[in-house]
Structure 1
């Protein structure tokens, strides 16, 4: 759908992460936030997880963002024009849809993510709605397709495939859907979509299209590769595009496969794209206890929880399960899907407690 500017698709070498990330694949780069750094309410900038479907495009000063399709006035916006518009900043928890794919049985195809493909970050930029309003969205518009400059071959498709995903118009027009230029107060890095990326709170990370260079307003449903053939729940022949993040929780202290004191404070995070976190329970063995909830850093950030508890000696299994304001609760196991998305099943953490 979109056309990359000259030189945009010249790939860069994979960065040296120096232990700041756990690399799952070097080319294109896919890397998790290391376990110790998942304890931060806001993930350190250098350890925010990275998911790339193709090699990283090269940013340049002449980068522009086109707004086209079902609009009154198609336009091309420069980086300097974006910088002059009113800016917003949001703290957002973002999770890759394939996070904890290795926790599914059998393990589906796709990147072998453990559970660190989730981070919480401060994003800064311009409200997408302000750009669409300036272009004049048609009365019968229904979707906005975000197009990235990254592209490449796929085994199950012909020719070059570009990364493109659509949003319902209501989501695109929400004031907190951003065209981001900054992360943690500094310009985006190449691996995080420099110079522009979309940020869609509450949705899995595939909606936050990196290296954004075109927005296309549509009056009919989008049927692109990453809309109907990848980032979809495929169960018993039924296909549904992945969208909002399912309710989920994660214990971060004590860390898995470490030692823990008898008098222990279990801590972690819970999040959902469908509502506020209303409860978290923590199991010690087979006994469930109500955890205490803290205040999230924003309406779109994960909610802290903790439980002070006396642990029995020996190997102990800890689990957590969250409930959100929609009434959804984490299941013990999810319904298996072929591409391994949305694993929000309860995850066990085993620790050794000294006698």
Structure 2
């Protein structure tokens, strides 16, 4: 299934459907659904219009309309696949070979998960909340058919910003993006935001399923918050530019908002902060920030440069220059150089 035009996305695979956002100078601050990256592990299912709530030995159901009747919240959230940047790791690792476009920013509207959970009694011994999507299939190295399942610690699940979403940019969530109902966990890598949500289970022990313990881990440690990243979308790599350079990019982090974007060139150890006025403020702490710089003068004509951009967030997390290699290729947020030549 190819739910959107190949011209709108960079398609990596057709079934399961995986495609990147095209990041360039025309990329808007809010990513339309048809241009927002898509990540699926199995064939795209038809999601249910109700969710089974399972706990304390009993099961109840909450319908789409009942969820819509709960107080609604809207948030601008940047979602990023944990495998974004995998293509740049050496030696190569298995998995979808994402470049830098497995990221997108949208306005999601839904009910607080906390309000949904309040419709049932939560046993005092509950430690985690398990979410199951309607998608299922056979991972290549597992040898059996499973569904996509992920859990959150109870305290995280009950955070005020976790949503059971039903709108994306004010419209019903498209099927390829997990509609009609999906989880949105702001600040976390996209694997936590379970799509085609069909069942929520209250657990009294930690979940150890395939997508919790065998995937989305680095050296046995589970992935959580999105690591800081800045991406230069203009000029493109290999461009011939005027000496007065125009820069456009995006910066984001899941642990805290980005407060600074720094520039270096030709692998120089010196990093120069861009003026804060170049970094456009985002009303949401979970959305990326666009940055622009006009008339940046480069010395010399007919010379080649390597431009490097990195992000620093409010918690002090700094985007690294060197990648952290790992066997599954997750969280590679290392700076990617952009090579340009100044016109003679």
Q: Which band: TM-score by shorter chain?
A: over 0.9
Matched, 1:342 2:331: yes
Distance in 2 of aligned mates of 1:37 and 1:282: 18
> Which residue of the other structure, out of 85, 89, 93, is the alignment partner of 1:104?
89
Aligned to 1:193, which of 171, 178, 186? Answer: 178
Judged with a 3 Å threshold, the aligned counterparts in structure 2 of structure 1 residues 259 and 297 are, in CA distance, closer, same or farther, namely farther
TM-score norm. by structure 1 comes to: 0.90
Q: Which runs of 5+ in 1 are unaligned?
A: 1-12
Structure 1 residue 70: Cα displacement = 4.2
Residues of 1 paired with 2:30 and 2:201: CA distance?
32
After superposition, the C-alpha distances for 1:204-235 in whole angstroms (9 at most, x for unaligned) are 0010111100111112110000000111113x
Q: CA deviation at 1:43?
A: 1.1
Alignment correspondent of 1:171: 156
CA distance in 1, matches of 2:272, 2:315: 21
Whether 2:10 is the aligned partner of 1:42: answer no
| Alignment equivalent of 2:255, drawn from 274, 279, 288 | 274
* Alpha-carbon distance in structure 2 between the residues aligned to 1:16 and 1:136: 41
Deviation sequence 1:135-191 (CA, Å, 0-9, x none): 122222221111001010123224211100111112111111011111111101110
Report the Cα distance in structure 1 between the residues aligned to 2:56 and 2:334, rounded to whole angstroms. 40
TM-aligned CA distance change 1:38 to 1:214, over 3 Å: farther
Counting matched residue pairs gives 336
2:224 maps to which of 243, 251, 258: 243
Q: Matched residues in 2 for 1:265 and 1:296: separation? A: 21
Partner of 2:53 in structure 1? 67
Shift of 1:28: 0.6
Question: In structure 2, what is the equivalent of residue 330 of structure 1?
Answer: 319
Match of residue 288 from structure 1: 271
- The equivalent position to 2:235 in structure 1, one of 254, 261, 269, is 254
The TM-score, its normalising length taken from structure 2, stands at 0.93
Q: Which ranges of structure 2 fall in alignment gaps of 5 or more residues?
A: none
Name the structure 2 match of 1:26.
14
- 1:183 is aligned to 2:160: no
Q: Is the CA contact 2:256–2:285 (under 8 Å) kept in the aligned structure 1?
A: no
Equivalent residue, structure 2, for 1:310: 297
Partners in 2 of 1:223 and 1:38 — Cα distance? 42
Q: How big is the shift at 1:89?
A: 0.8
Find the aligned partners of 1:148 and 1:257 in 2 and give their Cα distance: 42
Partner of 2:200: 215
